[in-house]
Amino acid sequence: MVRRMSVAAPCKLKASDYKSGTKPVWCPGCGDFHVLASLTKAIAALALVPENLAVVSGIGCSSRIPAYLNCYGFHGVHGRALPLATGLKVARPDLTVICAGGDGDGFSIGGNHLLHACRRNVDITYVVMDNEIYGMTKGQPSPTTAPDWDSELAPGGTGVSPFHPLVIALASGANFVARTFAGDVKGTTRTLAEAIGHPGFSFVQILSPCVTFRPDQREWKNKVHPPPVTFTTDPAQAARRVMTDDGFNIGVLYKGSRDIYGQAVERNAEFERDLDAEFLV
């Protein structure tokens, strides 16, 4: 599949032009408001045309985001945002496709799709608003919840090891991997713009506080810090870094240069055509 991104808008739109008239029903203070602000700023900075942009999501508070954007949107089925986004991009390579959702949607029910989306390396950007909880269904632990997080629904904690989404993405072949903090709108905007512009499957984990079920996450703004080193092009090095960090390093971690989905097939087809031509009598 040849890489195609939608052409720039003829007249530059402002970030607010990418917001729809639908007002978010998120709780006041929810980190997802910041993600919406960053995403609209990133797409405005890239001057993407709304009619050539599609945002696909699953189910959850975070997955409501397509409704709040002024572009094509698909509010899909829980955990199935990535197959939908993949299908859309393969069928319509001219569109810029962004997939968005939560840690429950992307790492629990949709966990298997994450592996294969990374592996296929289709040219889409996957944004996970990670609040280490199922926000929409009232605060059940998710795969990124700490094992000792005590709550009414998991008294004493789950005792289960959390999932390392960035390591999984790196091991599975994602071509761009980053972590940001929702409250850092400037940094998140820049990272999202980079992720959208990077060829192949880009994965951005955004630490996005759920102020209602995880009021402790209001403290994240004091915990996040820039990474001590810049991004790497070596996935093994990136994985080692993220396995040993405190979970609050933010920034671009890895930029790869793997063939995007379909590129190798196209090259082979070209080679076969040349070969056929050579032996044509």
Partner 1 sequence: MSNTGKNASQNFTQTELLVHALVIELEAVQSYKDLAEQMEQCGNTEVAALFDKMSKLEAEHAEKIREAAGDVELTELPPWEYRWPGLEPPENIDLAGVHYLMTPHQALELALENELSAMAFFDAIAHDSTDDQVGSLAQEFGDDERQHVAWMKEWLAKYPPPDDDWDYDPDPPAAID
Ligand X SMILES: Cc1ncc(C[n+]2csc(CCOP(=O)(O)OP(=O)(O)O)c2C)c(N)n1
Q: Please give the residue ranges that form the binding site for ligand SF4 (CB under 6 A).
A: 26-27, 30, 32, 61, 131, 135-136, 210-213
To ligand SF4, the closest distance from the beta carbon of 242 in angstroms equals 24
To ligand SF4, the closest distance from the beta carbon of 218 in angstroms equals 10
Q: Between residues 26 and 220, which has the closer beta carbon with respect to ligand SF4?
A: 26
Q: Between residues 30 and 100, which has the closer beta carbon with respect to partner 1?
A: 30
Helix %, strand %, coil % of the chain (to 5): 40, 15, 45
Asked if 156 is part of the footprint of partner 1 (rule: CB under 8 A), the reply reads no
Residues 6+ apart with CB under 8 A from 75: 57, 59, 63, 64, 66, 67
Asked if 70 is part of the footprint of partner 1 (rule: CB under 8 A), the reply reads no
> Which residue type occupies 39?
L
Cα–Cα distance measured from residue 254 to residue 241, given in angstroms and rounded to the nearest whole number? 10
Please give the angle made by the CA atoms of 230, 231 and 232, to the nearest 5 degrees.
120
Residues 6+ apart with CB under 8 A from 240: none
Q: Between residues 34 and 179, which has the closer beta carbon with respect to ligand SF4?
A: 34
Asked if 24 is part of the footprint of partner 1 (rule: CB under 8 A), the reply reads yes
> Which listed option, partner 1, ligand X, ligand SF4, none, makes contact with residue 23 (CB within 5 to 8 Å by class)?
partner 1
To partner 1, the closest distance from the beta carbon of 153 in angstroms equals 7
Site string for ligand X, 194-223 (x = CB under 6 A): ------------------------------
Cα–Cα distance measured from residue 194 to residue 186, given in angstroms and rounded to the nearest whole number? 12
Applying CB under 8 A, the span of 88-96, 204-212, 232-240, 266-274 interacting with partner 1 comes to 204-212
Site string for partner 1, 159-188 (x = CB under 8 A): ----------------------x-xxxxx-
Closest CA to 203 of 85, 95, 109: 85
Map residue 128 onto helix, strand or coil: strand
Q: Between residues 45 and 154, which has the closer beta carbon with respect to ligand SF4?
A: 154
> Which listed option, ligand SF4, partner 1, ligand X, none, makes contact with residue 153 (CB within 5 to 8 Å by class)?
partner 1
β-bridge pairing 251-255 and 176-181: antiparallel
To ligand X, the closest distance from the beta carbon of 140 in angstroms equals 7
Site string for partner 1, 206-245 (x = CB under 8 A): ---x-xxx----xx-x--xxx-------------------
Asked if 59 is part of the footprint of ligand X (rule: CB under 6 A), the reply reads yes
Closest CA to 98 of 37, 160, 55: 55
Interaxial angle between packed helices 185-197 and 32-45, expressed in degrees from 0 to 180 and rounded to the nearest 10: 50
Cβ atoms of 263 and 175 closer than 8 Å: no
